[in-house]
Amino acid sequence: MRSLIWMRLAAGASLAAGVLAAADVHKPKAPHPAIGDPEAIEAGRQLFTSGCAGCHGLTGEGGRGPKLRDSGMWHSLDDEALFKIIKFGIPNTEMPGSHQPDEKVWQTTAFVKALGSPAIEAPPPGDIRHGEEIFWGKGGCGGCHGLRGKGGKAGPDLANVGGMRSAGVIRESIVDPDADATEAWRKVSLTLHDGSVREGLLRNRNNFSVQIQDAKGEIHLALASQIKSITLAKSSPMPGDYGKRLTRKELDDLVAFLSRQSVRPAESVLASAGR
């Protein structure tokens, strides 16, 4: 743990030094070619699955080792520092390091970075067209999800899913809709004091009111004072068996398609991230 804190300080210090240096030198260092490269990320995913997932989880969700996606102190490190952690481990902790040739370690680094970046910045390989077909056809996804003006309203609009979520999280949302334990979009039934019952999808609730969405997509508000009881479904209304119903390739293609759904093009996402 001590070494972790030390590294955090070191990262902060080098950040400050970087700000000073930036006054004279405006040229940022070019990232290693593996970073953001779909093939390298895919190779890294396989290395990660065999060497790291046992502790960090298949999509970096954490376990014996810390969560690597969405959060984590490694986000404050530059690519070289992350590479070193992955290659050599963190001394005096359970983090062993991979000790593999540099090329493989860079692939793993590219994958770990992709875990914490929006999918559009590190889109996985796959047949995008085919993914789109599955989305509107075999998968029946468009029945519930909107995408650029088409599709249903029984689930979140996915027009910016690739700009907000990492490819790993998108994949997990498809094969395991209950993994993310939010209650929004769950089926809900409200019994009011006047005896009437309202059913729909839960969109929001706080101490004072509950918002539900009816089958037509319209939102209704019920005040807490009106509500006698609330019954909330325990699981997501999204089918939980896509991992079985879709082949591995269909799933890869679907994730590749969704990863490209962003309201901003990749270049501007990268530019605003300061890279």
What is the per-residue burial (b if ≥16 Cβ within 10 Å, else e) of 37-69? Answer: bbebbbbbbebbeebbbeebbebbbeeebbbbb
Q: How far is the CB of 127 from ligand HEC (least distance, A)?
A: 15
Question: 94 vs 194, which CB is nearer to ligand HEC?
Answer: 94
Q: Tell me how far apart the alpha carbons of residues 210 and 239 are, in angstroms, rounded to a whole number.
A: 25
Q: What DSSP line would sit under 56-80, residue for residue?
A: H-TTS--SSSPP-SS--GGGGS-HH
- Angle of helix 2-22 relative to helix 79-88, nearest 10 degrees, comes to 160
Q: Tell me how far apart the alpha carbons of residues 218 and 211 are, in angstroms, rounded to a whole number.
A: 10
Q: How far is the CB of 225 from ligand HEC (least distance, A)?
A: 28
Question: 145 vs 205, which CB is nearer to ligand HEC?
Answer: 145
Question: 21 vs 183, which CB is nearer to ligand HEC?
Answer: 183
Q: How far is the CB of 47 from ligand HEC (least distance, A)?
A: 7
Q: How far is the CB of 248 from ligand HEC (least distance, A)?
A: 14
Q: Tell me how far apart the alpha carbons of residues 54 and 241 are, in angstroms, rounded to a whole number.
A: 24
Q: Tell me how far apart the alpha carbons of residues 71 and 77 are, in angstroms, rounded to a whole number.
A: 12
Contact, 161 vs 118, CB < 8 A? no
Q: How far is the CB of 31 from ligand HEC (least distance, A)?
A: 17
Question: 196 vs 247, which CB is nearer to ligand HEC?
Answer: 247
What backbone phi and psi angles, to 5 degrees, belong to 228? Answer: -90, -45
Q: How far is the CB of 216 from ligand HEC (least distance, A)?
A: 15
Distances (CA, A) of 38 to 34, 111, 260: 8, 9, 12
Q: How far is the CB of 191 from ligand HEC (least distance, A)?
A: 22
Question: 31 vs 237, which CB is nearer to ligand HEC?
Answer: 237
Closest to 46 in 3D by CA, of 107, 121, 113: 107
Question: 199 vs 223, which CB is nearer to ligand HEC?
Answer: 199
What backbone phi and psi angles, to 5 degrees, belong to 28? Answer: -75, 150
Q: Tell me how far apart the alpha carbons of residues 4 and 62 are, in angstroms, rounded to a whole number.
A: 17
Q: Tell me how far apart the alpha carbons of residues 188 and 162 are, in angstroms, rounded to a whole number.
A: 28
Judged by the rule CB under 6 A, the positions of this chain that interact with ligand HEC are 1, 4, 48, 51-52, 54-56, 64-66, 68, 72-74, 82, 85-86, 90, 93-96, 98, 108, 112, 135, 139-141, 143-145, 154-156, 161, 165, 170, 173-174, 177, 180, 185, 236-239, 242, 254, 258
Q: How far is the CB of 178 from ligand HEC (least distance, A)?
A: 7
Question: 184 vs 224, which CB is nearer to ligand HEC?
Answer: 184
Question: 223 vs 243, which CB is nearer to ligand HEC?
Answer: 243
